[in-house]
Amino acid sequence: MRYVSTRGAAPVLNFEEAMLTGLARDGGLYVPETIPEMSADEIAALAGLSYEEAAFRVMRPFLGESFADDELGVIISRAYAGFGHAARAPLKQLAPNHFLLELFHGPTLAFKDFAMQLIGQLFQTALARSGQKITIVGATSGDTGSAAIEAFKGLDNVDVFILFPHGRVSEVQRRQMTTPSEANVHAIALDGDFDTCQGRLKDLFNDFEFRDAVGLAGVNSINWARVLAQVVYYFTSAVSLGAPHRKVSFTVPTGNFGDIFAGYIARRMGLPIETLVIATNQNDILHRALETGSYTPTGVVPSISPSMDIQVSSNFERALFDAYGRDGAAVAQLMDELKAGGSFAISQGALESLRETFATGRASEAETSATIKATLAATGELLCPHSAVGVKVASEHVGATPMITLATAHPAKFPDAVEAATGVRPGLPPRMADLFDREERVTRMADDLDALKSLIRERTGR
């Protein structure tokens, strides 16, 4: 299995290389050269398997020679052993044809644990084999950072630096990043918003001398291995509702387009997904882009669903690459236009191709709160604000096909918003109850690239 860049001008890599590289050297994102398909019989055979067994079968074809079968089996079982639910990704029913896929039973209570725990084990196996040392730098709107720290803390041969926007993450998110005491963990509060953090991350990766000197590796949702890990729960949930014999649709609370792109891959692999609904909060660039054809970032307005407060949606580039017939030069040109002029227009052909797969919707702040309240009253289920954005948008798309909405975080990660909406303050699961008593360790920094580089070099001694 070979991986190519969405901008068509970076080296072709195998799975392990693409995973350790993250962002391609031409600024693009790695995607598989061809998408392996699963037959209806192979999909049907997933029924009744454990999450881990299904994960093995879905992911195996993408890994090529990079990991042996027995290695992969161990990696998967370690990755999901720390989850607080035996099903890993349990499915609940909300309404006659509307289901909720709970993706928040991992160690940091958000769906990002599914990918990050796996990638931690994949990295460790690969690095132990090569003796290589790496420096992971990640940008986070809150959940990626805590998931990465949880997955990499204390591992050999890895330092992990997480950039988060100062004052713009919830207290639970911040504490999950600042309280681990392992020496290889470095939490950095940057002045700015998530796009500032992501911008600085891209700058670090685009400085090839720095990148090679510190052995930079990325675990943001641009990392192909993360997308791949997320493909699995589309299969397990669809199969439990009758796929491949029955179609399903999904609604996905979306920010950086990683989670929903995994659904797109599942569909390309042969899973009968009718529609993938992109649900955005008031930062609705993806909703507007698919409605109007114009991709125009407007600046982030902070919301009660902060992990979706994003205007530059990195993984959307992967969808564009396919929509433009895998023409890397065309994608590179769009990204140049975005950088130079602040927006680009999606061609009519590409727009039609995107609309065949994706529908969109947005939820305002008031609608999000109202949905948390109404869902609690109707079902007893307490939603986090991100999941509520999904449920609100999904309710506008539920039809004859079963709809599965992804619940991306536990309500206790965003207790203020949930309490404001319902009067009920969600409690942390007992395994995390002492989070507020642990000591915090964080470096606050201005948005200054050179200072950031110096800090990383100093802390890693490279």
Ligand X SMILES: *Cc1c(COP(=O)(O)O)cnc(C)c1O
Binding stretches for ligand X (CB under 6 A): 110, 112, 143, 221, 253-259, 307-308, 386, 408-409
- If the CB atoms of residues 165 and 215 are measured against ligand X, the closer one turns out to be 165
Q: Rounded to an integer, what distance in angstroms lies between the CA atom of residue 243 and that of residue 346?
A: 33
The question of whether 112 is a catalytic residue gets the answer yes
Least spacing, CB of residue 361 vs ligand X, in Å: 14
Structure tokens at 152: 């990499």
- If the CB atoms of residues 5 and 405 are measured against ligand X, the closer one turns out to be 405
Q: Annotated catalytic residue: which of 112, 202, 392, 413?
A: 112
Least spacing, CB of residue 305 vs ligand X, in Å: 7
Least spacing, CB of residue 244 vs ligand X, in Å: 25
How many CB atoms neighbour CB 458 within 10 A? Answer: 9
Structure tokens at 195: 């796009």
- If the CB atoms of residues 179 and 315 are measured against ligand X, the closer one turns out to be 315
Q: Is 91 exposed, middle or buried (0-12, 13-18, 19+ CB in 10 A)?
A: middle
- H or E stretch including 151? helix 143-152
- If the CB atoms of residues 112 and 287 are measured against ligand X, the closer one turns out to be 112
CA 431 to chain centre: 24
How many CB atoms neighbour CB 161 within 10 A? Answer: 27
Least spacing, CB of residue 257 vs ligand X, in Å: 5
- If the CB atoms of residues 103 and 456 are measured against ligand X, the closer one turns out to be 103
- If the CB atoms of residues 180 and 253 are measured against ligand X, the closer one turns out to be 253
- If the CB atoms of residues 180 and 255 are measured against ligand X, the closer one turns out to be 255
- Contact by Cβ (8 Å): 99, 242: no
- Contact by Cβ (8 Å): 162, 99: no
- Contact by Cβ (8 Å): 120, 157: no
Least spacing, CB of residue 231 vs ligand X, in Å: 12
Among residues 180, 116, 111, the alpha carbon closest in space to that of 148 is found at: 116
Long-range contacts of 64-67 (CB under 8 A, 24+ apart): 64/1, 64/2, 64/14, 64/15, 65/14, 66/14, 66/15, 66/16, 66/19, 66/126, 67/15, 67/16, 67/122, 67/125
Q: Rounded to an integer, what distance in angstroms lies between the CA atom of residue 356 and that of residue 31?
A: 20
Least spacing, CB of residue 400 vs ligand X, in Å: 27
Q: Rounded to an integer, what distance in angstroms lies between the CA atom of residue 368 and that of residue 304?
A: 8
Q: Rounded to an integer, what distance in angstroms lies between the CA atom of residue 282 and that of residue 240?
A: 33
Q: Rounded to an integer, what distance in angstroms lies between the CA atom of residue 310 and that of residue 295?
A: 13
Least spacing, CB of residue 446 vs ligand X, in Å: 25
- DSSP bridge partners of 272: none
Catalytic residues: 112
